Chain A
């Protein structure tokens, strides 16, 4: 069965360290997204990609970067982790088209000390 996975599921890191969160989908979706979920804010878009070598900034992109070298993967990198980046991170993917359903991964819980 097609799926979308995230790793690690839990991560503890220190302020200033570089952290990479992995996202892998086997749906063959063109679109991939990274969100963070914080209490009172719902889901906020960090970065998104509409295809290989395409990346775009979302509403809360500062301090984060992504790259898309193939269809299946969109890793999210925190260049220098900050305590404000403690959050739950969700990756999602969808077929092209605004009406398409997004399929979400199980999430990565990140704690920055």
Chain B
């Protein structure tokens, strides 16, 4: 079984401030982890993903996430928020073994205040 929890359905940051979106997962086997972003009236698109190897993963638009097995976390960060980062962000997990379906979190809506 697998599950994912995103803490905070809404997060507000000032432009130029650190962005931190939290994601914790539960998985019985080594997981694959994803962050997707959804801009208004659009489908989701991949920001970054962790499969194997380096635990710090860099994605598009200056975002990065670190896989921490001991904390079962995959938090998304960006050093300096930009107005264009305002969107909804989804964390997702899938077990690495067998034929598995992706489980999405409930999403975190990021507001960037000028």
Contacts and interface: CB of A to CB of B under 8 A. Distances in A.
Interface of A: 35, 40-43, 45, 48, 50, 58, 90, 92, 98-99, 101-107
Interface string B69-106: 00000000000000000000010001110111110111
Nearest to A9: B41
Contact of B45 (A43, A48, A104, A107): A104
Given A41-B106, A98-B96, A102-B46, 16 more contacts: A42-B107, A43-B44, A43-B90, A58-B101, A90-B44, A98-B94, A98-B99, A98-B102, A102-B36, A104-B36, A105-B43, A106-B41, A106-B42, A106-B43, A107-B41, A107-B42
B43 A98 contact: no
Nearest to A107: B43
Given A40-B106, A42-B105, A48-B101, A101 B34 contact: yes
21 contacts: A35-B104, A42-B90, A42-B105, A42-B106, A43-B44, A43-B90, A58-B101, A90-B43, A92-B43, A92-B44, A98-B94, A98-B95, A98-B100, A99-B32, A99-B94, A99-B96, A102-B44, A103-B45, A106-B42, A107-B41, A107-B42
Nearest to A45: B101
Interface residues of B, number: 25
A101 B32 CA distance: 11
A48 B41 CA distance: 23
Nearest to B43: A104
A41 B105 CA distance: 8
Nearest to A41: B106
B36 to A, nearest CB: 8
A101 B101 contact: no
Contact of A50 (B34, B43, B95, B99): B99
